[in-house]
Structure 1
Amino acid sequence: MNTTIADTYEIAMGRWSRRLSRSFLDFVAAPSCGSLVDVGCGTGSLTLAAANRYPDARVVGIDLIPDYLTDALREEASNIELKTGDALSLPFEENSFDTAFSQLLINDLEDPEKAVAEMVRVTKPNGKIAASVWDRSGGLTFIRLFLDAAAILGGLEGEKLREEVFDVPYQDEDDLYDLWSDAGLGDIETATLAVRMDFIDFDDYWQSLMGAHSLIRNFFNRQYADTAYEIQQATRLAYLGGKTDGRRSLVASAMAVRGVVPA
Structure 2
Amino acid sequence: MNATTADIYEIAMGRWSRRLSRSFLDFVAAPSCGALIDVGCGTGSLTLAAATRYPKARIVGVDLIPDYLSEALLSAAENVSFETGDASNLPFGDDSFDTAFSQLLLNDLEGPAGAVSEMVRVTKPGGRIAASVWDRAGGLSFIRLFLDAAAVIAYPAGDELRSRIFDIPYQSEDALFDLWSDAGLRDVDTATLSIRMDFLDFEDYWQSLLGAHSLIRDFFNDLDPELAHQLRTATERSYLGGKDDGRRSLVASAMVVRGIVGE
Give the structure-2-normalised TM-score.
0.98
Identity over the aligned pairs, expressed in percent?
71
1:226 maps to a residue whose letter is E
1:242 maps to a residue whose letter is G
In the alignment, the residues of structure 2 paired with residue 224 and residue 106 of structure 1 have an alpha-carbon distance, to the nearest angstrom, of: 33
- Whether the 8 Å CA contact 2:43–2:72 is kept in 1: the answer is no
SS in 2 for 1:155: coil
In the alignment, the residues of structure 2 paired with residue 228 and residue 71 of structure 1 have an alpha-carbon distance, to the nearest angstrom, of: 32
1:198 equivalent in structure 2 = 198
In the TM superposition, 1:20-169 aligns within 5 A as 20-70=20-70, 73=73, 75-169=75-169
SS in 2 for 1:69: helix
1:135 maps to a residue whose letter is D
2:227 equivalent in structure 1 = 227
The answer to whether 1:10 aligns with 2:18 is no
- Whether the 8 Å CA contact 1:151–1:162 is kept in 2: the answer is yes
The one-character-per-residue Cα deviations of 1:72-116 (angstroms, maximum 9, x if unpaired) are: 636531000100000000000000000000000000000000000
In the alignment, the residues of structure 2 paired with residue 42 and residue 88 of structure 1 have an alpha-carbon distance, to the nearest angstrom, of: 15
Q: Give the deviation of 1:5 after TM superposition.
A: 1.1
In the alignment, the residues of structure 1 paired with residue 197 and residue 156 of structure 2 have an alpha-carbon distance, to the nearest angstrom, of: 29
The one-character-per-residue Cα deviations of 1:134-155 (angstroms, maximum 9, x if unpaired) are: 0000000000000000000001
Q: Give the deviation of 1:3 after TM superposition.
A: 1.9
Aligned residues: 263
TM-aligned CA distance change 1:26 to 1:210, over 3 Å: same
In the alignment, the residues of structure 2 paired with residue 8 and residue 242 of structure 1 have an alpha-carbon distance, to the nearest angstrom, of: 29
2:245 equivalent in structure 1 = 245
1:142 maps to a residue whose letter is F
Unaligned runs of 5+ in 2: none
1:120 maps to a residue whose letter is V
Unaligned runs of 5+ in 1: none
> Following superposition, which runs of at least 4 residues in structure 1 exceed 3 angstroms of deviation?
none
In the alignment, the residues of structure 1 paired with residue 54 and residue 128 of structure 2 have an alpha-carbon distance, to the nearest angstrom, of: 15
- Whether the 8 Å CA contact 2:147–2:162 is kept in 1: the answer is yes
In the alignment, the residues of structure 1 paired with residue 2 and residue 236 of structure 2 have an alpha-carbon distance, to the nearest angstrom, of: 28
- Whether the 8 Å CA contact 1:98–1:123 is kept in 2: the answer is yes
- Whether the 8 Å CA contact 2:43–2:71 is kept in 1: the answer is no
In the alignment, the residues of structure 2 paired with residue 43 and residue 75 of structure 1 have an alpha-carbon distance, to the nearest angstrom, of: 9
1:13 maps to a residue whose letter is M
- Whether the 8 Å CA contact 1:170–1:176 is kept in 2: the answer is yes
1:187 equivalent in structure 2 = 187
The one-character-per-residue Cα deviations of 1:120-178 (angstroms, maximum 9, x if unpaired) are: 00000000000000000000000000000000000110000000000000000000000
